[in-house]
Amino acid sequence: MKLLFSKLDNEEGSAIVVALLILAVLTIMGISSTNNSTIELNIVRNEQIYQTNFYQAEASAYEAAQRIEQETNTNNLIVSESNLDWMNNDTLDYFDQSNWLNDGSANDNTDVSVIDPNAFYSAVGKGVRMGSSLDIGATRLYEYAVFGMSQWNNGNAVVEIGYLRRF
Amino acid sequence: MMNFLSNKKFRGKNQVYAQGGFTLMEVLIALGIFAIGILGVASMQLSSTNGNTKSRKYTESSEFGQGQIETLMAAPFASLADGNTVTADGYRVTWTILNQSDTNGDGTDDMMVIRVNVDDPQGVERSVYTFSRFLTIGP
Please list the pLDDT of chain B residue by residue as tens digits (139 residues): 445 444 555 555 555 555 667 889 889 999 999 999 999 999 999 999 999 999 999 999 999 999 999 999 999 999 999 999 999 999 999 999 999 999 888 999 999 999 999 999 999 999 999 999 999 887 6
**Is the pLDDT at A165 greater than 60, yes or no?**
yes
Question: Mapping DSSP to helix (H, G, I), strand (E, B) and coil, where does residue A88 land?
Answer: strand
Q: What average pLDDT score do residues A148-155 get?
A: 94
B37, B66, B131 member nearest A59 (Cβ) = B131
DSSP A107-160: T---EE-SS-TTEEEEEEEEEEPTTTTSSTTS--EEEEEEEEEE-GGG--EEEE
Give the integer Cα–Cα distance in Å for A158 and A92.
Answer: 14
Do the Cβ atoms of A157 and A149 come closer than 8 Å? Answer: yes
Distance from the Cα of residue A9 to its chain's centroid = 65
CB contact under 8 A, B59 and A47: yes
DSSP B59-116: HHHHHHHHHHHHHHHHS-GGG---EEEE-TTSPEEEEEEEEEE-TT-SSS--EEEEEE
What is the value of ipTM here, to two decimals?
A: 0.85
H-helix segments, chain A? 2-8, 14-70
Tally the C-alpha atoms within 13 A of residue B48's C-alpha that lie toward its C-beta: 17
Q: How many CB atoms lie within 10 A of CB A14?
A: 13
A26, A34, A58 member nearest B38 (Cβ) = A26
* Own/partner long-range contacts of B62-65 (Cβ < 8 Å, ≥24 apart): B62/A44, B62/A47, B62/A48, B62/A51, B62/B118, B62/B126, B62/B127, B64/B91, B64/B93, B64/B118, B65/B93, B65/B116, B65/B117, B65/B118, B65/B127, B65/B128, B65/B129
pLDDT of residue B2: 47
Q: Comparing C-alpha atoms, which of A128, A121, A127 is closest to residue A85?
A: A121
Q: Comparing C-alpha atoms, which of B67, B74, B129 is closest to residue A57?
A: B129
A22, A41, A113 member nearest B55 (Cβ) = A41
Do the Cβ atoms of A49 and A41 come closer than 8 Å? Answer: no
Say yes or no: B96 contacts chain A, CB-CB below 8 A: no
pLDDT of residue A10: 73
Q: Kindly report which listed range (A38-47, A100-109, A113-122) carries the lowest average pLDDT score.
A: A100-109
pLDDT of residue B1: 45
Q: What average pLDDT score do residues A64-86 get?
A: 91
Chain B residues within an 8 Å CB radius of A29: 41
pLDDT digits (tens, 9 = 90+) for A23-36: 999 999 999 999 99
A13, A23, A66 member nearest B134 (Cβ) = A66
Q: Which of B44, B66, B101 to mutate to test the interface with A (most CBs of A within 10 A)?
A: B44
Confidence of residue A4 (pLDDT cuts 50, 70, 90): low
CB contact under 8 A, B30 and A43: no
Amino acid at B32: G
| Chain A residue closest in CA terms to B17 | A9
Total beta-carbon pairs less than 8 A apart between chain A and chain B: 129
Chain A residues within an 8 Å CB radius of B95: none
| Chain B residue closest in CA terms to A11 | B19
Confidence of residue A136 (pLDDT cuts 50, 70, 90): confident
Amino acid at A19: A
Give the integer Cα–Cα distance in Å for A100 and A107.
Answer: 10
Chain B residues within an 8 Å CB radius of A165: none
Do the Cβ atoms of A167 and A75 come closer than 8 Å? Answer: no
| Chain B residue closest in CA terms to A50 | B129
Give the integer Cα–Cα distance in Å for B56 and B118.
Answer: 13
Which residues have a Cβ under 8 Å from the Cβ of B25 and sit 6 or more positions away?
none
